[in-house]
Structure 1
Amino acid sequence: MEKAKSWKKSFFTIYIGQAFSLLSSSAVQFSIIWWITMETGSALSLTIASVIGLLPQAVIGLFAGVWIDRFNRKKIMIIADSAVALSSLILGILFIIGIKSIIFVYIVLFIRALGETFHKPALQAAIPNLVPQSELTKAGGFGQMINSACSIVGPMLSAFLMSITSLQYAMLVDVFGAAFAVTTLSTVKFLNNTASQGDKLSIIQDMKLGISAFKSNKALLRLSVPMIISTIIFVPIGTLLPLMVKWYFNGTAWHNGLVQTLFSTGMLIAAMIIGFTGGLKKQFLMISLSTGLLGICSLIGGILPASLFWIFCIVVFVMGTTGMGFNIPFTSYIQRTVPAENLGKVISLVTSVMSFAAPVGIFIAGPISEIIGVINWMICAGIVMIFVGLLCYFLTREFDTPLNSEVIVNEK
């Protein structure tokens, strides 16, 4: 099959461009947050920035999938990248001529989040047109490897940029990154997705079609419950790690930086391994084991004595690897089993739900950890995640067959 032979060339052509775009975007995003921090010194201002970053995916994402399935996904990605670059350019120009308003910064953050709302699901929905079904998990591993690397290097690049220049010139880096991404994306040929009956439906009807496609996939429906719980638990654990380092292990900023780096490095290495090997052949088993392993790491981290910080560092590194063990196979399963005409809608729906679940987890973990202590929260979260891993295994094991064919599964 031609796709089986040539997919890596097209895939890596796209992701080389995306790597530049992701890296520049990550650097600029951190630069913007740092500018807000320095200009306002306000926790409220940073909270508003965070909410603005989440809102488009959580709200508009429900509808974005409809357009992703109706229109050319390649053009959607190019428009999204271009819109983000244009907003960065305009903000840079405004700052250069002396108009430095936090309102304009918030608007740019919203446009950036809006672009991501369309770009990421469109890319994930387009990948199955390039990659054989049996290789989707590997492709997901390579993609996440690039994302993780950019998330590690991005803040470093941001710190370098802000040390030698100001925000207005740092914004121009995003323009060059997006331009390179658009150029490489333009050279790759995608199969044209057709919306079939979607063109004749209203936006709401088409969105309901995506919800029906999600509900008709029995394994995906069962898997979504553990995934939502995992997101609610996993995101706060990463947020609470600095508190663990400072208040329990009596660490400094250096210790906290080490922990954050180890967590991100764990994600990067796990994505790399999955990219080269495809991970376990039984995808649902990999998700279940990763979920349970996160629980074990959280539990160990909570019961360690304060004198064993270096053991905690190892635990954090392993904890970082667990996220890739359920995110990558989960996404590849959606790509393999959801029909192409509904793929954008389903991916956007799942992403929106997860976008809601993440802040819910933070809102739950924050007050509870204040009452019972971060250590006890880690222990409780660990116990919950171990049971979630077991739940995931028993809910999905009947659908867990090795990836040895390109037959689309439709459980009904």
Structure 2
Amino acid sequence: MKKLEEWQKSFFILYIGQATSLLSSSAVQFSIIWWITLETGSALSLTIASMVGLLPQAILGPFAGVWIDRYNRKKIMIIADSAVALSSLILGVTFLLGIQSILLVYLVLFIRALGETFHKPALQAVIPQLVPASELTKAGGYGQMINSACTMVGPMLGAFIMSVTSLPYAMLVDVLGATIAVVTLSLVNISKQLKKQSKNLDFIQDMKQGINAFRSNKALNRLAIPMLISTIIFVPIGTMLPLMVIGYFNGTAWHNGIVQTLFSIGMLIAAMLIGITGGLKRQFLMISLSTGLLGICALIGGILPPHLFWIFCIVVFVMGTTGMGFNIPFTSYIQRTVPAENLGKVISLITSAMSFAAPVGMFIAGPISEMIGVSNWMFFSGVFMILIGIVCYFLTREFDISVNNEVMLDEK
């Protein structure tokens, strides 16, 4: 058996803890939403819960990036995990004492989202401090594989917990997961990041420098508009899958469960393959192909007749695989090309943009799909995604040459 390299040991120790935390967080997120559903039966209450979970990243993300680059990223991740654990502990204890307040639940959701606002970009920014540049795509594949697995299993765990016990005990599971993440993270030796610009810049100047770092990266600039449009179109497709199953294919909750599971399995397999192989050498081609293939899947899903549900299942499985072909190489390119002192700011900026783009997509898709039907929305979304994939290829193909040269130099 091939011996693990030093960076691989550190990477996997880090992700063992992160996987435990992500799994428990996913289970608790399901448990909280289920509790709100049972207690209120209100769509408005669920909408408020969703907005509370979205706002910190959308509003505070660019500011969080400055702190991520100025201060020790490892400590920021530990503080974020600890804050989430503390909020979960407080909610669990108050519920056990008989104090059950939906306002307190909203507050805990806000704290959890605030922790993720700092934790996720810090984690992505710290990976290049552990992983060689030539291995970033593989590492991204492994990371996404773990994320996909936890996201898939987490709701099942949450459903099991809520079926045998109650919300406070689910919160205590989250405390355990966050504690394990903090302990494993403390064991990983992470090299110190550069902070040379932060000493001479005020906060706003530092944030502007992150924006300038993004604007000066030609490939990221050319991907920005296609990336935003893809998010606006893709998020509603994923959200409307249950409507397709029930309203168009006349399915049941069981059929919807199959579709959701196949989508997650597709993501998991694609991430695993990219983790093992590193994906295509021409990473911008991989991004363009992924976007186009997603469009083809959506188009086919939109024109299938209602009696071909099992073909739709295959289409959804392939659709699940395509997102990894965009996300993983895109993230690894950012990690490889953005200067370390600006990496947290750029990642936070992009994440915030995506957080705004997602609800915009739902705001557009909701009324239109009501008028023309969900299947027609999928069809026209597919057409747009194919066009975006083609445009993306012509905008970015020149950068594949420089990326390949960078990898070859790094390997030497």
Q: TM over 0.5, yes or no?
A: yes
SS of alignment partner, residue 196 of structure 1: coil
Give how far 1:406 is off.
4.7
Q: 1:76 is matched with which residue?
A: 76
Q: 1:131 is matched with which residue?
A: 131
Instruction: Determine the C-alpha separation between the residues in 1 that align with 2:405 and 2:107.
Output: 47
Aligned counterparts, 1:46-195, within 5 A = 46-195=46-195
Aligned residues of 1:337 and 1:408 also touching (Cα < 8 A): no
Give how far 1:201 is off.
1.6
The superposition leaves residues 87-132 of structure 1 with CA deviations (integer Å, 9 ceiling, x where unpaired) of 0000001101111000000000000000000001001001001101
SS of alignment partner, residue 200 of structure 1: coil
Instruction: Determine the C-alpha separation between the residues in 2 that align with 1:408 and 1:44.
Output: 55
Aligned counterparts, 1:316-327, within 5 A = 316-327=316-327
Instruction: Determine the C-alpha separation between the residues in 2 that align with 1:390 and 1:199.
Output: 44
Aligned residues of 1:141 and 1:278 also touching (Cα < 8 A): yes
Aligned residues of 1:134 and 1:404 also touching (Cα < 8 A): no
Q: 1:45 is matched with which residue?
A: 45
Aligned residues of 2:197 and 2:341 also touching (Cα < 8 A): no
The superposition leaves residues 45-80 of structure 1 with CA deviations (integer Å, 9 ceiling, x where unpaired) of 000000001000000001000000000000000000
Q: 2:344 is matched with which residue?
A: 344
SS of alignment partner, residue 193 of structure 2: coil
SS of alignment partner, residue 192 of structure 2: coil
Residue type of the partner of 2:386?
I
Instruction: Determine the C-alpha separation between the residues in 1 that align with 2:154 and 2:45.
Output: 22
1:298 aligns with 2:301: no
Aligned residues of 2:284 and 2:397 also touching (Cα < 8 A): yes
Q: 2:228 is matched with which residue?
A: 228
Moved over 3 A (4+): 402-409
Give how far 1:194 is off.
2.9
Give how far 1:407 is off.
8.0
SS of alignment partner, residue 400 of structure 1: helix
Residue type of the partner of 1:278?
G
Q: 1:13 is matched with which residue?
A: 13
Instruction: Determine the C-alpha separation between the residues in 1 that align with 2:83 and 2:218.
Output: 37
Aligned residues of 1:65 and 1:345 also touching (Cα < 8 A): yes
Instruction: Determine the C-alpha separation between the residues in 2 that align with 1:184 and 1:342.
Output: 26
- Structure 1 residues 145-154 or 221-230, which shifts more? 221-230
Q: What is the identity percentage for the equivalent residue pairs of Structure 1 and Structure 2?
A: 78
Instruction: Determine the C-alpha separation between the residues in 2 that align with 1:243 and 1:267.
Output: 21
SS of alignment partner, residue 297 of structure 2: helix
Q: 1:30 is matched with which residue?
A: 30
Aligned residues of 1:132 and 1:406 also touching (Cα < 8 A): no
SS of alignment partner, residue 98 of structure 2: coil
Give how far 1:293 is off.
0.2
1:255 aligns with 2:255: yes
Give how far 1:307 is off.
1.0
Give how far 1:403 is off.
3.8
Aligned counterparts, 1:190-339, within 5 A = 190-339=190-339
Aligned residues of 1:31 and 1:162 also touching (Cα < 8 A): yes
Give how far 1:237 is off.
0.3
Instruction: Determine the C-alpha separation between the residues in 2 that align with 1:134 and 1:225.
Output: 27
Give how far 1:197 is off.
2.0
Instruction: Determine the C-alpha separation between the residues in 2 that align with 1:235 and 1:406.
Output: 32
- Long gaps (5+) in structure 1: none
Instruction: Determine the C-alpha separation between the residues in 1 that align with 2:359 and 2:52.
Output: 13
Give how far 1:223 is off.
1.0
If the length of structure 2 is used for normalisation, what is the TM-score?
A: 0.97
Residue type of the partner of 1:76?
I
Give how far 1:404 is off.
5.8
Give how far 1:405 is off.
4.0
Give how far 1:377 is off.
0.5
Give how far 1:7 is off.
1.1
Aligned residues of 1:71 and 1:194 also touching (Cα < 8 A): no
Aligned counterparts, 1:348-367, within 5 A = 348-367=348-367
SS of alignment partner, residue 198 of structure 2: helix
Give how far 1:196 is off.
1.0
Aligned residues of 1:162 and 1:170 also touching (Cα < 8 A): yes
Residue type of the partner of 1:145?
M
Aligned residues of 1:88 and 1:108 also touching (Cα < 8 A): yes
The superposition leaves residues 246-278 of structure 1 with CA deviations (integer Å, 9 ceiling, x where unpaired) of 111110111011001111111111111101111
Aligned residues of 1:91 and 1:108 also touching (Cα < 8 A): yes
Aligned residues of 1:304 and 1:312 also touching (Cα < 8 A): yes
Residue type of the partner of 1:176?
L
Residue type of the partner of 2:97?
I
Give how far 1:5 is off.
3.4
Give how far 1:323 is off.
0.7
Give how far 1:193 is off.
1.4
Instruction: Determine the C-alpha separation between the residues in 2 that align with 1:12 and 1:283.
Output: 24
Give how far 1:225 is off.
1.4
Instruction: Determine the C-alpha separation between the residues in 2 that align with 1:227 and 1:134.
Output: 24
If the length of structure 1 is used for normalisation, what is the TM-score?
A: 0.97
- Long gaps (5+) in structure 2: none
Instruction: Determine the C-alpha separation between the residues in 1 that align with 2:187 and 2:22.
Output: 19
Instruction: Determine the C-alpha separation between the residues in 1 that align with 2:250 and 2:33.
Output: 27
Aligned residues of 1:57 and 1:351 also touching (Cα < 8 A): yes
Instruction: Determine the C-alpha separation between the residues in 1 that align with 2:194 and 2:132.
Output: 19
Instruction: Determine the C-alpha separation between the residues in 2 that align with 1:266 and 1:197.
Output: 42
Task: Note closer, same or farther for the CA distance 1:405–1:215 as it changes in structure 2 (3 Å cut).
Answer: closer
Instruction: Determine the C-alpha separation between the residues in 1 that align with 2:67 and 2:409.
Output: 24
